[in-house]
Amino acid sequence: MKVIGKSFIDNPAGLKIKGARRADKFAKMAVKACLDIPIKNPRPDSDTETGVIVATRFGPHATTFKFLDGMLDHSDTRGSPTTFSHSVHNAAASYITTLLGIQGPAATLTCFDDPLGRALELAEDWLVLNHVDQVYVCYVEERSAPFDGIQEGCGALPFYGTGGTSEGAAAVLLTRDGNTPIPDTAEAPFWAIDAIGKKGR
């Protein structure tokens, strides 16, 4: 594989993205990370097929908690449809494909055990099998008051908070032409994306 570009979003406060006004912070971070990488021919009339893979350990949990709070406050029949739609883990990938005009495959991988490593493996499979010519791999995490409280109280959340995954997003755009080494594991996702394509790592 070959790296076409990389991007990092480490200050998510106040992100404003045209076409994503209603998006939550999780989706906005993912979109911004991908938008900052120049893309070649994403449109459907192009010969270049582009895919999108979003990876995360916790997903848009702040939005999920917000939706659950709304249900508890106003009953299950009065929950916000907009908040619910953004609590779905694939919402970020949907925003990315819509705003970049991508018609290729899109997937979201969510797990505690090395989601970025699994996303990079899937990207390599898509490229090797000629499903796509290039693929965005985006890793995104956010913080939330409930998770901060749990972490402060008992430290029970793996990879979250102090010494763990920090809030932000990172993306890399890959193509099949090249011999960029891909890490076997990516337990430190932001560092791993930064290391992709760098010699001596």
The string of pLDDT tens digits covering residues 58-103 is: 877 776 666 556 556 666 666 666 555 555 668 889 889 988 889 8
Task: Check residue 173 and give its pLDDT.
Answer: 94
Contact 109, 90 (CB under 8 A): no
Domain housing 172: 2-195
For residues 9 and 172, the model is more confident at 172
Residue 3: per-residue pLDDT: 87
Residue 43 pLDDT > 60: no
Evaluate whether residue 79 is within a structural domain.
yes
pLDDT-wise least confident of 8-22, 35-49, 67-81, 107-121: 67-81
The answer to whether residue 201 is domain-embedded is no
pLDDT at residue 137 greater than cutoff 80: yes
Structure tokens at 172: 């890399």
Specify if 131 maps to a domain.
yes
For the chain, what is the mean pLDDT? 78
Instruction: Give Cα 154 to chain centroid, integer Å.
Output: 27
Residue 200 lies in a domain: no
d(CA 121, CA 54): 13
Does 139 reside within a domain?
A: yes
pLDDT for the residue numbered 64: 66
> Which of 27-41, 110-124, 141-155, 157-171 has the largest mean confidence?
110-124
Q: Is 150 part of any domain?
A: yes
When pLDDT is cut at 50, 70 and 90, the band that residue 200 belongs to is very low
> What confidence category does residue 185 fall into, taking pLDDT thresholds of 50, 70 and 90?
low
**156 lies in some domain:** yes
Phi and psi for 20 in degrees, rounded to 5? -130, 35
Residue 58 lies inside a defined structural domain of this protein: yes
How many structural domains does the chain have?
A: 1
pLDDT score for 75: 66
Name beta bridge partners: 8: 170
Q: Say which CATH number the domain at 16 has.
A: 3.40.47.10
Model pLDDT, residue 73 = 64
CB-based contact 140:164 (threshold 8 Å): no
